[in-house]
Structure 1
């Protein structure tokens, strides 16, 4: 996978952007780039009605199987379309926000280009 390794937190994402990112690389890798745990990222996805890959998904991808990415379901009534992801306050790392948005834009464009 040719994903950038830049730390992505803090970030303000749309549901569509997070959906694209979640289906572009394993949750544990993406969560690490946000500076949060994969369980925290999974809870965010569940809370914002964002489908995420089932166990074994990335093994199937590695084996060359084509797996359909489920469409992003509509937001539930009253659900915010923006998601703020911040790393743990004790993390001393900082990130230039322009690099964050370039990375998000690249993944979103690649994910939705072929639909």
Structure 2
């Protein structure tokens, strides 16, 4: 039970912060959009998806189906992030956050449906 709460809170926090920064197109996110070849509008849409995922994950313990769908959606977003980093030839330092977040989401899903 404690693992579920910790993972839920951690993921909801991480993706809320990232999603809000992307949706608001903060300067750091504008730089990342330009660096990866995305438009600011596309990055804003990704931010909105991250926010939706954060809400779904937060509601997951009460509505497991919603949590599972949100977690799956976040895994798909993270897979896309990994692909972008690999195509750009980024090193481990830039690839690691997406991989760590993906592992946390996978752990959340495993605990949610255990």
TM-score by length of 1: 0.34
Q: Which has the higher helix share?
A: 2
Where relative contact order (Cα < 8 A, 6+ residues apart) is larger, the structure is: 1
